[in-house]
Structure 1
Amino acid sequence: MNVKIDLLIIVTVVSLFISLFLAFFLFSVKTKHKTSNYLFAAFLILCAIDTSQTLFNLIIDKPSNFGMLRGLFAFLQIPVFYLYVLSVCYSDFKLKPKHLLHLLPFVIANAILIPRFYAVDDTSKINFIKGYQKMIEIQFNHILIHVQLIVYIIAVFMVLRKAKKLYLENCAGTSISSYNWLFQFTVVLTILYSGALLKNIFKFSDYPYISEWIKIGLLVFQLLIVCWYLFKALNNPGLFRSIDSKLKLVSDIVLEEKNKEQLAVSEKEYNEELLKLQHYMVEEKPFLNPSLTIQDVSATIEIPVRDLSLLINHKLEQHFYDFVNTYRIEEAMEILKDTTKSKMTVLEILYEVGFNSKSSFNTAFKKHTGDTPTVYRKSA
């Protein structure tokens, strides 16, 4: 038993130190993404408060209002993470009064405990905690937090799915890997919270000791997650290139146009716009700009963003991201075939044609040609 307690204390202390260090880093670092940093710092602090239970119990060995409140801060974790995801996906995200609604589960969880816990004496608190498995308030809060978790996790994945699709339809930078990374991070958090759900199931079963061992495993896992994020944050301070939340998916635009019976565009007009776009891409080579957006192209060739988006994403059945990368790959292929440029490395070429990520370049090149850049150069 002492070994388990010692292990819990060590892991808790290390996890708290790293979480609070990263939170301090996010609060203090100078960046234009302050809201995102502050929200993730708040998420880390809430996780640290939850993690601190073992140390808290060593200091205060009896039930208290402060101790109960500390535990119920867990209701704020996933809502804050959801707001963080919104803030990194959308450049125009701002915290508004309506976001206070996310506090509702936390308020409800505390309110139902007022009559039989917060407002009673210490002896009644002790009896309440001793019989926690039969207390309707505790059971309700456990159900509430798990329902909340499921709803918010689904909401986060929906936000990421839509944001990624909007990015593909409107941008041609290489930041798409950032959305993939945030998706992976959310999956890892889902696994962590699923483990917490399993822990709580055993906590209310006839085998509560299993819950304690799962708790140790979750603390170690959480520590690894925090270290992973710390590594990512330090190496990629400008991780995301956000998009405007006012942008609409092409599928939604098409539906609106159909409902208004305005989708029909003459073949002549379609061909004229397509030729204008293709001529611009070939002659001006805007794709060499690694941060090119559909708005940039629209402003130059004087085709409204809405029409240009429909032309590329609906008529050509390509995302703007893939459309632009096709021109980048064609340009890279010309360089690879040019014997006078044989001394240029693949890394130099990918930067030359508008990519700024080797992995995204290799993926796009193989998708377009079926070969890696190196193999293509040898066979050209």
Structure 2
Amino acid sequence: MLNSLFITTGSAAPLSISFQFFTPLYFAAPACFYLYITGFVQEKKTIEKRDFLHFIPAAIALIHVIPWPGSAVLDWNLIVTQLHADGYHSLVAKSGLFPSSIHFVLRPVLTVVYLGLTWFAVVKSKILWKQTIDPATRSWALFLLKIATFFQLLGLLPRILRNLSLPIDNSVFVVINCVCLLMIILYSLHKPSIFYGFLLVAIDWNKNEWKEKLVSDHITTPDDFDISEIIKVPGALSLSIKKFNLSEEQVLSYSGLIKKEMEDNCLYLNQDLQIIDLAIRVNIPVHQCSFVINNHIGKNFRDWINSYRIAHFLQQYPILADKITIEAIAQEAGFKNQATFYNAFKKEKGIMPTAYFSQELKAQDLF
């Protein structure tokens, strides 16, 4: 994009730097793409020594762009003019040590060869029905493979159009580009979980330990699940305060601010309250807010706000029990549904509400 900007504006001086800088990286891109996808397919986590052979074209490109002593001075005004005419396919002027064909011949060849090798590896591995590969990993690898294939082949389209004597700026071609980009964006917005663990926060929604946690904690609805527990890195509870750049005084101060904000404004009555909302109100980072709640207050965020809601429920129950149902009182206390309330109550008090109130009545009768 940067090179295209300089080519379009005819800026020879900045192009002479960006063009040469990005050339080796472009020649390395097909190999990186191949190694990245095959890493998923073959479940490899390291690069072997033989894999570095794939970067020979990038090394050749690096040799090409180095201004060797005694080499001819490059005419960047001419290079800009030729690139502006028809991209890399019209470049005849010398751009480095080797002939200009290194751009309009070797680059397309590398793209096609590595695309073919990547698809061959994917088909050969039977990744579409291989059970050992995590579904999220499979979805991400195939999504990236399809998108990258489309755009890399799209980059070769000008060469095909030129051979067919068709204009590169054909309106149909532009419309197809825009429609495809729009479809990719819509798909990404519709299914953002495909990026988790790869481009975004490293969350694996399909791991069995989280399903086991739901069962062990008697969690039956999504509202019971605390997202702040997932986003913590493994072993976060054992991390020292120093790793969060917090002093003991800051932890105590943050704890006081968090509790004060929660209690003074009765934030727990908001059924949609999330930890990010609380962090914004007290003006501290979310990960530090989560750390303070988990390690200083001693509960995860969901259990902590539910303890406030249970306390509010117990205060309101004697007043409202004759007027509305238990579920309605629980809803006013901040619980979204009946299942969430009963799970939280049992977790907080150890027994269900009916048994709890029976014990209370018996205790009152004894006195």
Q: State the TM bucket, normalised to the shorter chain.
A: 0.3 to 0.5
Which is richer in helix? 1
User: Could you say which structure has the larger radius of gyration?
Assistant: 2
Q: TM-score, normalised by structure 1?
A: 0.37
